[in-house]
Amino acid sequence: MRRPVPDTGASLARIGRRALLIGGLQAGVVGVLGWRLYDMQGRRSGEFRLMAEENRISIRLIPPVRGLIHDRNNVLIAGNEQNYRIVITREDAGDMEAALARLGSIIALDPDDVERTLRESRRRGAFVPIIVTDRLSWDEVTAVGINAPALPGISAEVGQSRIYPLGPDFVHVVGYVGPVSERDLERYPDPDPVLQIPKFQIGKIGVERWREDALRGRAGSRRVEVNAAGRIMRELDRRDGQPGDDLRLSIEAGLQNFVQERLAGESAAAVVMDVTNGDLLAVGSAPSFDPNLFVRGISSADYDALLGDEFRPLANKAVQGLYPPGSTYKMITALAALEAGAITPETGVYCPGHLDASGRRFHCWKGAGHGQVALAKAISESCDVYFYDVAQRVGIEAIAAMAERFGLGERHDLPMSAVAAGLNPTRSWKREQRGQDWMIGDTINASIGQGYVLSSPLQLAVMTTRLATGRKVVPRLVVAAGGREIAPAPAPSLGLSEGHLRAIRASMSDATNTREGTAWAARVVDPALRIAGKTGTSQVRNITAAERARGVTRNEDLPRNRRDHALYVAFAPVEAPRVAVSVVVEHGGGGAGVAAPIARDIVLRALTGDLPPLSAYPENQRGRIEADIEALRTRLRPPAAASPTAPGGGDRA
C-alpha cells in the first residue's frame, strides 16, 4: 500500500467537486422524472384514467327477444322457441378430442360438428365457449345435464330461435328469418350492433323483413370487466333490452289455411279482403313451403328442389305475380266509358262474333257472337266485342285513369316482399317504354284486360272491393303493433256515379246468378250468401288466323305453360258486400270452370267462418261438392286456440 499518496488532499478536493457536479446532474434528472410523474399523474390523470376504463370495460349485447306475429284472432303465426345447445370451453374441458368423444357417447354428434368445434377451439381463446351443436331435444339436454360431472367444460345453454307453427300457410305473407348476411349489413347504412352477434337472425322476406324494425326490439347490454386477453372477469351492470313489438295481422289463420289447401295442387293465388275496412283476410299463394326449413338452414338439395319447381313455390304470386286480368278488367273499361258519358248502361252494341278495326279482325270468345248487347249482358256474358267498341269510344287514357282509381297499377303499401305495381298501358307509356306509337289494336286488347295490361291478384281484390263499396278502400295487413291498434286508412268515396256502380254490380251478379251468366255453374243458392263475380280467361298466346279457321285448340290439349290463366273476382253477399276475393290459377284454363269454383268455396268459408255449408251449393252439385269438402276437411288444420301470450313469451307450437 502506498498510503498516504503525496497529493491526496488536492485530488480528493477535485473528486469532491466532481462529485458535486455529478450530484447536480443527477438532481436534474430526478427533477425531470418527478415533473414527468406530476405531468402524467397529476395533470393528465383523468385522460389516462379514461383510457384505463376503456381497456377494462367491454360492452356485451344481450340479443332482444323478437316480437311475435299473430293472426287477427291472436293465433300464433311466428313465435320464438327455446333452442338448447351444447357449448364447450377448452380451458375447462382439457383434452378437447377426449371431451367430445365422451359427449358423443351420450348424445349423437355429427362428425362435421366435431370437426368444426375442434377447428374453432384451436383458433379461439381457451376461455371462449364454442357451440358444439344446437337444436337439441329436451331428452338430450337432460342426458348432458345428468352426466355433467363426467363432462367438464361442457354445458347446455338456452337461446331463442324463430318458429313458424303454421308451417307453409304463412310463408308468403310473413316470410322467415335467417342469419345476418353481408348483403343485409349493406342494406343498413348504420347497422345496429346487435346484427354482429353470431347467429343473430333477422327477417329475410315478408313481414319479418319489412317490419324488421318493430319486430327486432332493442338489444340490452351488460358492461363487463375484461382482462387483457378478453376474458370476462365479472359483470359490472346490466341494462335489459326491449323485446320487439308483437304484430297482429289482418289475416285469419283458419281462412288462410283453407285458401292454401283449396289452392293446393295448382300454381295459383287468391286474395280475400274485408270490403268494409280493407283488411286482408287471406293472401294465398300455392304451392308453398315450410319457412322453418330456412330458419334451421335449408339443405342445398331442398333449396334446389324449390328453385327448380315449375310451379315456383318461392314466389308470392298473390302480390308479385302479374297476369293479364282478362275479362275481369271489363268493369274498368265499362266504368270509364260510363263516367266519361261515352255510353249509358242502355247503349247497345251488335256483336257478330268479331270486330274489324284498322285492317285487323278482333274476335269475341264466342265465335257465333252475342247479337245485340248492352252493359248488363256484356258483363254477365262477357261479350268482348262490346268492350272493343266501347273502348274506342272512350279511349285508352280514360280507361287507364279509371284503372288507377281502382288501385290497378299501384304498388300497394304492404309489408310484403316484391309487391308488384302492374301496368295500365297508355300512349305515353308505350312511346317511352317501347318506342312505338299506340295502335287502335292496343286499345282493343286493353279493353278486355289483354295486351299490355298486367295486374296482380292483390290488385284485382282491391279493385273488386272498390267496385263493391264505391270507396277507395286501402288494403292493410298489420292491424296492431306493440299492442296499439292501427286504424284503417280512411276510405273516401271514389266519386263515381252510384247508378253506374249499381249497374256494374248488378251485371256482376247476373254473371253468376243468371243462367246465361258465365259463372252460373259457380253460383250460390243461399240468398244470404249469394256472390257477384266476374270470370276472366286470359290468353298467354296469340291465336293465329289459321288456328282459328280450323278451330281453336282446347286448353286441355295445350302444353301447360301455353294454357290460359283462369281468373275470377267476386264480392259477397250481393246485397250487403262483406268480402271481396280474387283468384288466379296460372295456366288453369277457363275462369268459369277453374277459378270461380275455388273463389266460391273461399267466399263461403270467409262468410260463414266454417267449412262451406252444403246448402249453399246448387242441388245438382252437392254430391260432388260434399265429397270434395270432406276430402278438404281432412287436410285442414284443426282450429287453433288463440294464444293470449305476454310479449316475448317463448311460445312453442
Partner 1 sequence: MSYLEYSVRRVPSGPAKILHLNWALIVLILAVCGFGVVMLWSVAGGRFDVWADAQLTRIGAGFVVMIAFAMVPIWFWRNVAGLAYGVALVLLVAVEVAGAIGMGAQRWIDLGVIRLQPSELMKVALVMLLAAYYDWLSPARVSRPFWVALPIVLILLPTALVLGQPDLGTALLILAGGVAVMLAAGVHLAYFGVALAGGAGAVSAVFLSRGTGWQLLKDYQYRRIDTFLDPASDPLGAGYHISQAQIALGSGGWGGRGLMQGTQNRLNFLPEKHTDFIFTTLAEEFGFVGAVSLLVLYALIVAVCLRIAMASLDRFSALVVIGIAVTFFLYFAVNMAMVMGLAPVVGVPLPLVSYGGSAMLVLMAAFGIVQSAHVHRPRQKARP
In this complex, which beta carbon is closest to partner 1, that of residue 37 or of residue 146? 37
Min separation Cβ 4 and partner 1, Å: 6
Q: Give residue for cell 245438382.
A: 620
Stretch that binds partner 1, among 53-61, 392-400, 415-423, 562-570 (CB under 8 A): 53-61
CB of 192 to partner 1, least distance (A): 27
CB of 177 to partner 1, least distance (A): 36
Closest CB 48 distance from partner 1, rounded Å: 3
Query: Which of the residues 3 through 42 are near partner 1 (CB under 8 A)?
Result: 3-5, 7-12, 14-16, 18-23, 26-27, 29-30, 32-34, 36-38, 40-42
Question: Taking Cα atoms as reference points, which of 501, 531, 462 lies closest to residue 278?
Answer: 462
Closest to 54 in 3D by CA, of 216, 222, 228, 173:
228
The single-letter DSSP state of residue 375 is H
Rule CB under 8 A: say whether 624 interacts with partner 1: no
Query: What's at 369, amino acid-wise?
Result: G
> Which of residues 102 and 231 has its CB atom nearest to partner 1 in the complex?
231
Q: Grid coordinates standing for 312?
A: 315456383
Q: Which residues lie closer than 8 Å to 307 by C-beta, 6 or more apart?
A: 314
Query: Does 327 participate in catalysis according to the annotation?
Result: yes
Q: Considering the complex, what minimum distance in angstroms separates the CB of residue 18 from partner 1?
A: 5
| Window of 52-60, 335-343, 381-389, 597-605 that interacts with partner 1 by CB under 8 A | 52-60
Does residue 228 touch partner 1 according to CB under 8 A?
A: yes
Interface with partner 1, residue 367, by CB under 8 A: no
CB of 124 to partner 1, least distance (A): 18
CB of 222 to partner 1, least distance (A): 17
Check the CA dihedral 541-547-552-558 and report its sign.
Answer: negative
CB of 412 to partner 1, least distance (A): 53
| Residue choice 48, 101, 185, 547 for contact with partner 1 (CB under 8 A) | 48
Instruction: Compute the C-alpha angle 534/536/539, nearest 5°.
Output: 170
Establish if 145 lies at the interface with partner 1 (CB under 8 A).
no
One-letter identity of residue 558 = L
The pairing of strands 371-373 and 349-351 is: antiparallel
Q: Are 415 and 215 in contact (CB under 8 A)?
A: no
CA torsion sign for 619, 639, 271, 476 is positive
Q: Per CB under 8 A, does 307 bind partner 1? A: no
Segment interacting with partner 1, rule: CB under 8 A, options 108-116, 226-234, 439-447, 540-548: 226-234
Nearer to partner 1, 27 or 101 (CB): 27
By residue count, the chain amounts to 653
Question: Which member of 108, 229, 301, 368 binds partner 1 (CB under 8 A)?
Answer: 229
How far, in Å, CA of 326 to CA of 321, rounded?
15
Distance CA 301, CA 595 (A): 33
| Residue 60 in contact with partner 1, rule: CB under 8 A | no
What are the C-alpha distances in Å from 114 to residues 110, 152, 155?
7, 17, 15
> If binding is defined by CB under 8 A, does position 111 make contact with partner 1?
no
Rule CB under 8 A: choose which of 82, 137, 227, 433 binds partner 1.
Answer: 227
Question: In terms of DSSP bridges, do strands 247-249 and 69-70 run parallel, antiparallel, or are they unpaired?
Answer: parallel
Given 44, 199, 360, 633, the residue binding partner 1 (CB under 8 A)? 44
Is 225 an interacting residue with respect to partner 1 (CB under 8 A)? yes
With respect to partner 1, which residue has the nearer C-beta, 4 or 189? 4
Count of residues interacting with partner 1 (CB under 8 A): 48
- 126 or 641, CB closer to partner 1? 126
**Residue 543 binds partner 1 (CB under 8 A):** no
Q: Which of 524, 532, 270, 496 is nearest to 380 (CA)?
A: 532
Residues 161-220 that bind partner 1 (CB under 8 A): none
Minimum CB–partner distance for residue 126 and partner 1 (Å): 14
DSSP state of 455: B
Q: Closer CB to partner 1, residue 223 or residue 363? A: 223
Which one of 118, 197, 226, 525 is in contact with partner 1 (CB under 8 A)?
226
User: How many separate helices (H) and strands (E) can be counted in the chain?
Assistant: 25, 21
Instruction: Work out whether 91 is an interface residue with partner 1 (CB under 8 A).
Output: no
Q: Which long-range contacts (CB under 8 A, 24 or more apart) does 357-363 make?
A: 357/388, 357/392, 357/440, 357/441, 357/444, 358/439, 358/440, 358/441, 360/441, 361/545, 362/388, 362/441, 362/444, 362/445, 363/543, 363/548
Q: How far is the CB of 280 from partner 1 (least distance, A)?
A: 55
Choices 44-52, 77-85, 102-110, 616-624 (CB under 8 A): range interacting with partner 1: 44-52
Q: Name the one range near partner 1 by CB under 8 A: 51-59, 109-117, 485-493, 494-502.
A: 51-59
Report whether 162 contacts 177 (CB < 8 A).
yes
Among 51, 59, 150, 418, binds partner 1 (CB under 8 A): 51
- Residue keyed to cell 455529478: 22
CA distance 241 to 185: 21
> CB neighbours of 473 closer than 8 A, spacing ≥ 6?
273, 275, 276, 277, 278, 462, 465, 466, 491
**Which of 148, 233, 545, 631 is in the footprint of partner 1 by CB under 8 A?**
233
Residue among 27 and 146 whose Cβ is closer to partner 1: 27
| Residue (38 or 188) nearer to partner 1, CB | 38
Distance in Å, CB of 45 to partner 1, minimum: 4
Can residue 1 be called a binding residue for partner 1 (CB under 8 A)?
A: yes
Task: State in angstroms the smallest separation of the CB of 91 from partner 1.
Answer: 15
Catalytic residue among 161, 250, 327, 382: 327
Phi, psi of 252 (to 5 degrees): -105, 120
What distance in Å separates the CA atoms of residue 394 and residue 384, rounded to the nearest whole number? 16
Query: Cα–Cα distances in Å, from 112 out to 109, 117, 119, 240?
Result: 8, 8, 11, 36
Site membership for partner 1, residue 82 (CB under 8 A): no
3-class DSSP assignment, residue 7: coil
Question: Cβ(418)–Cβ(320) under 8 Å?
Answer: yes
Residue for cell digits 286482408?
Answer: 280
Query: Which sign does the torsion angle of CA 21, 24, 29, 32 carry?
Result: negative
486 φ, ψ (degrees, to nearest 5)? -105, 120
User: Cell 402524467 sits at which residue?
Assistant: 40
Binding-site member from 55, 142, 433, 615 for partner 1 (CB under 8 A): 55
| Residues that are catalytic | 327
* Residue numbers at the binding site for partner 1 (CB under 8 A): 1, 3-5, 7-12, 14-16, 18-23, 26-27, 29-30, 32-34, 36-38, 40-42, 44-45, 47-49, 51-53, 55-56, 225-229, 233
